[in-house]
Amino acid sequence: MEIQAFLNHIRAQKGYQDQIAHIEHIAPRRPAYGKLDEPLHSALQDCLDAHGFSRLYSHQAQAVNLVRGGKNVIIATTSASGKSLVYNIAVMQAILTGPASRALYIFPTKALAQDQLRKLNELFSPDLLPSESLATFDGDTPRSERADVRRYGRIILTNPDMLHVGIMPNHQSWASLLRHLKYVVVDEAHIYRGVFGSHVGGVLRRLRRLCQTYGSSPQFILCTATVANPGEHAQALTGLPCEVVDNDGSPRGWKDFVFWNPPLIDEKKTARRSAHWESTNLFTELMLQGSRTLTFTRTRRLTELIYIYARDRLKEESYELSKLVMPYRGGYMPEDRRRIERELFGGKLLGVVATNALELGIDSGGLEATVLDGYPGSISSTWQQAGRSGRSQGESLSFLVAWDNPLDQYFMRHPADFFRKGFEHVLVNPSNHYVLQAHLLCAAWEKPLDKTDEPVFGKDFTKERDALADEGQLRERRNKWYLAPSISYPAQKINIRSSSGDDYAVVDVSTGSLMETVESSVAFFQVHPGAIYLHQGDSYLITKLDLTNRVAYAEPTRANYYTETKEIHDLHVLEVRHTRTVGPVNVSIGDVEVTIDVVGFKKYRQFSEEVIGEEPLDLPTIRFNTVALWFDIPPRAIARIAEKMQDFAGGLHATEHAAIGILPLFALCDRNDIGGVSTPMHPDTGRAQVFIYDAYPGGIGIAEKGYDMIEELWQATLRVIAECPCEDGCPSCVQSPKCGNNNKPLDKAAARVILEELQGG
C-alpha cells in the first residue's frame, strides 16, 4: 500500500483534528544467517530446499543446534521470524532418525493449531509423513476420529485445556505417545501468564510426571514474543531450566507505526471522542482503499461493536464490501470459528475484527494494515498485534488508537517511552495455593502421589498435599496419597483459563439454542440481567441469569446501546508478609480477602458512547483471597491537603485509580487483572491507605511486582496526573469507568500532593 498517500487522505478528511500524535518510522532489517553444527537427514534437507528454506536465520540455526544438543530452549524473537520452523526441523529430524519418536505441539487456541496443521501438511506431507501422522486433538475433534489420532499420530497438535481434561486423565489410552514422547512444543508462551499461565505450569508438571511413569523425558521447545524474562518464564512454566535464544536474525520490512489520539470534545478537556469510533473510521477507510486489515479489540463486546459499526458504514458505500468483514473471538461455536478461519486464511475476507485470539502466530494471508483499538496492556502484545501486518518484507501500516485512560494517554504524550522501553516481565505463579492444590488433585487421579513428586511440583508440594489430606480430599496409604472416593474426575471441574468454576451457557430464548459460553468469573459483568450481549453482530438482551443452573437467557433485541457494570470493592487484611520503608512512608505486601459487589450497570449509546441510563443490580457478593500491596500517606501530604482545603478522601481515591491504570506499564497484565481500594481510615491498619491487589484468588505476582517497583510506579502515576490537560480529573488520569461510586469523591489536585510527598516533596 502507499502509506504516505493513505495518511494524507486521512489528514484531509473532515473529521481530522490532529489525531496523529506520533509516527514511528521502523526501518527495514536485513537477514542474518547461521549454520547448523551437523547436517540434517538428507530427506529433510531436500524438503526444506524445495520449500525455500535452504538457509536458516541466525536464531533458527542456534536454536536447532541447542535442541539437537539435548537442551530445553525458549526462542524469544519478533512476529514472523520463523520460530515454528525451528521446532518443525527438530521434530522431523527426530522422527526420521528415530521412527518411534513422537511430538506434542501445544497451542493456546484451536485456530492456531489448525493453522499450524495446515502448514505441517504443506511442508512435510506426504513426502516425509503420511497425513494421518499429523493431527489435531481438541474439543472440536469428532469422537469417531479420536482413536485414529491416538493410533497413528506422530505429531499431535492440542491445547492446554485438552491436555488437562482429555489426554492426561486418560493417559492409559495415550501410552504410546507418552512412552515415545521426544519433544513438547509450547508455542506463544507469552500468552501463558497470570492465572492461565499458572494453571499451564501445573499442566506441564503433570505431563512431565506421567512421562516419567512411562519412561520418557521429553525436551521442551518454547516460543514466545519478546519479553523481559524469557528464561525465567520458561522455567516457571515447565519447572526445567531452558536456554534462551533471542538474537533475531530475520528480515523486516518497512513499517510506519502511528499513535492516534482521539480529539478532545469539550472546553474543560475532560472527554475525548470515542476511541471505538476512531478505530472504526480507520478500519473502514483502510478497507475502502483496498487494504487487507485486521482490527484488534480488547474484549468480546468491543469486537462485536466495532464489527457492527464497520459493517453498517461499509453498507453505505457498497453492500458487497460489507460482506467482506467479519468478527472473530472466543465463545463462538466450532463451526462458526472454522468458517471464519477458512475465509481469513484463504484471503476471502478484506477485514476482520478480533480479540487477541488472532494476535498469535497465525498466517492471516498477507495483511497490509493493523488497527489496535486501545493499548493491549503490554508492549509485548502491542508488537505482536502490530506484527500481524507486513509479515513479509513489504511495507505495512499500524495504528494504535488510544483509549481515554491513564496508560494509553501516557504513551500518547511519551511515545519514546513505548519505543525505547524494555519489554515487560511475564508473571506466573504455579505455586499459587489454589492452582497447586487443583493440579495435585488431578495428578492423584492420574496416578497416586508419592514422595518422588516433590521435585516435579516444587517446595510447596508437601504442604499443599498434607492440607488436602487434612480436608479429606486425599487419603494416605503406605506412603501414597489417593483421591478420596467422593472425588471423581477433578480435571473436569477445573477451568484452567479462569479462577472460577463452570462456565455459564448463553441461550437464545427465541430458538432455544445454545449460542456460546461465558466464564463464570466474568458472568456477573457480562451476562447480568439487563445486559446487552452481542453475538456476531446481533444484539441480545439478557432477561434472566439462572445462578443455580448457570444459564443466561438472551432475547434478540434492536437496542442501540451497550452496557457496562459498576462495582464496589472492599478488602480485609489477613496477614502482612513484608513491610519496608520507602521515602517518608511504609509500604507493605500481604494476604487479603477481597469482596466485590456488582451494584449496577450503565447504558452507553452506540457510536457516541453517551451514557443514557443506569440501573441497579442485586447479585451475590464475590469473595476471594489474594495478594495486595498497600502504602501509607505522608503526614506532610495530609497537612498540605488540609491547608488547601482539598478533599483528602478524593485524593486517595484519585491516587488509587491512577496507580491501577499505570501499573501495567511495569507488569505484563491487563487493567482488569488488578483491583484497588482506598480509605482515609482502614479498620485493619488504623491509617489512611491505598491498596492495589491481584484480581485473582491466590495472586499471580502483579502486586509483588508493584511492591518491588513502587517508587517507579509513584513517579509514573504523578507524571500522568500532572501532565493531563483536564482541570478536575477525567478518564485520562483519575476516573475509572467501572467505579461503583460513580468516581466520587475524586480530587485530582489532592492526588498530586499525595504523589509529590510520597517522593519526598
Cβ distance 674 to 657 under 8 Å?
A: no
> How is residue 489 written as a grid cell?
474426575
pLDDT recorded at residue 139: 86
- Model confidence pLDDT, tens digit, residues 210-239: 999 999 999 999 999 888 899 999 999 999
- Find out if CATH 3.20.20.140 is the number for domain 3-27+252-420: no
Q: Please report, rounded to a whole number, the percentage of residues in the chain having pLDDT higher than 90.
A: 73
**Quick one: pLDDT band at residue 82, thresholds 50, 70, 90?**
very high
Average pLDDT, the chain: 92
| pLDDT value, residue 700 | 83
pLDDT per residue over 446-465, tens digit each?
Answer: 999 999 999 999 999 999 99
Give residue-wise pLDDT tens across range 479-492.
999 999 999 999 99
- pLDDT digit string (tens) for 246-257? 999 999 889 999
Q: Which distant-in-sequence residues (6+ apart) come within 8 Å of 330 by Cβ? A: 109, 300, 355, 357
Q: By the 8 A CB rule, do 192 and 428 touch?
A: yes
Residue type present at position 614? E
What pLDDT does residue 615 have? 95
pTM here is 0.80
- Residues 30, 212: contact at Cβ < 8 Å? no
52-63 pLDDT, tens digit each: 999 999 999 999
**504-559 to CATH, choices 2.60.40, 1.10.10, 2.40.10, 2.30.30:** 2.40.10
Please answer whether residues 200 and 237 qualify as being in contact, where contact means their C-beta atoms are separated by less than 8 angstroms.
Answer: yes
The answer to which of 406-415, 423-432, 625-634, 743-752 has the lowest mean pLDDT is 423-432
Checking if the pLDDT of 645 tops 60, the result is: yes
C-alpha closest to that of 539 among 334, 283, 349, 307: 307
* pLDDT at residue number 383: 87
Average pLDDT of 266-289?
91
Residue 533 reports pLDDT greater than 70: yes
Q: Which fold has domain 433-493?
A: Arc Repressor Mutant, subunit A (1.10.10)
- CATH number, span 33-245: 3.40.50.300
| pLDDT range class, residue 208, cuts 50, 70, 90 | very high
pLDDT of res. 365: 53
For the chain, first and last CA: distance in Å? 52
User: What residue has cell string 522501553?
Assistant: 421
Query: Hey, where are the domains in the chain?
Result: 3-27+252-420, 33-245, 433-493, 504-559, 565-758
- Asked, colleague to colleague, whether 3-27+252-420 and 33-245 share their fold, the answer is yes
Burial of 644 from C-beta contacts in 10 A (0-12 / 13-18 / 19+): exposed
